[in-house]
Structure 1
């Protein structure tokens, strides 16, 4: 059990609130884009912290494998990991052939479960109304025929 409270841990891990980090007393007088930028920057910072934390965990695990003599051995195939691969990614646990290909689970947004395709003929119905380009008269020509 940690000697720190949940609030203390959240402050240490997540940082100050948006108001404290920007120095603004209120976000009401700011343009929404300013707040959006601050929110984006904060989200990017948290993402970088998460990524670095995961990498640190991998490095610590590699150091533990060095101590127990299993460093440089693929966890999947039990074959030696080539030195060149370890040079590129010193904390890797796999040979190239057995490395996980992606962290993408292939999961689709939940909104897709309730989306319905457009009705048949929807595009054709919209197309009948023309486009902005069909309303533009080429330079030097009147919109009506001059002979009429």
Structure 2
């Protein structure tokens, strides 16, 4: 398995999507929309387009961060540090490197970091799974929700 080829392939994929997203975002909102004017009678007329642009900006930011991580992995490869866990110094499992070419943690260290992650408080209010544990059925249009 050639890690450099995998990293270069992932880098090319990310760069292609980044270019596509940037090309979409360069187009002014007035030209991107089907609306005749941005000054319509109701501001919600263009809300879908604004929401889509904001979503694309978020995706672009995420892709740029991932590209940065791939570039860091390429520099670690050149320095001979690729495949070595940053936390414990052990080798990262080859199967993990195949799935996550830019990972810096072995499976055990990644799990231990994940255990310290606290979910937001609003997620603890009630979840659909908790309702089914109580034996309550949710009816939607005459059908059980979990069927």
TM category, shorter:
0.5 to 0.7
Name the SS for the 1:70 alignment partner.
coil
Which segment drifts farther, 38-47 or 15-24? 15-24
CA–CA distance in 2 between the matches of 1:27 and 1:108?
39
Greater relative contact order (Cα < 8 A, sep 6+): 2
Q: How does 1:10-49 map to 2 (within 5 A)?
A: 15-22=26-33, 26-29=37-40, 31-49=42-60
Of 95, 105, 114, the match for 1:101 = 114
The count of residues paired between Structure 1 and Structure 2 equals 98
1:54 equivalenced with 2:90 (yes/no): no
The residue number in structure 1 matching 2:138 is none
Structure of higher CA gyration radius = 1
The residue number in structure 1 matching 2:133 is none
Which residues of structure 1 form unaligned runs of 5+?
A: 1-10, 110-148
Over the aligned positions, Cα root-mean-square deviation in angstroms equals 3.3
Name the SS for the 1:101 alignment partner.
helix
TM-score (norm 1): 0.54
CA–CA distance in 1 between the matches of 2:47 and 2:82?
45
CA–CA distance in 2 between the matches of 1:42 and 1:24?
15
TM-score (norm 2): 0.54
The residue number in structure 2 matching 1:85 is 96
Q: Which has the higher helix share?
A: 2
- The CA deviation at 1:23 is 6.8
Name the SS for the 2:101 alignment partner.
coil
Instruction: Give the conservation status (yes or no) of the 8 Å contact 2:83–2:97.
Output: yes
Which residues of structure 2 form unaligned runs of 5+?
A: 1-21, 123-147
**1:21-62: per-residue Cα shift (whole Å, max 9, x none)?**
337563222654431101110011001101110110000000
Structure 2 CA distance for partners of 1:78 and 1:33, relative to 1, 3 Å: same
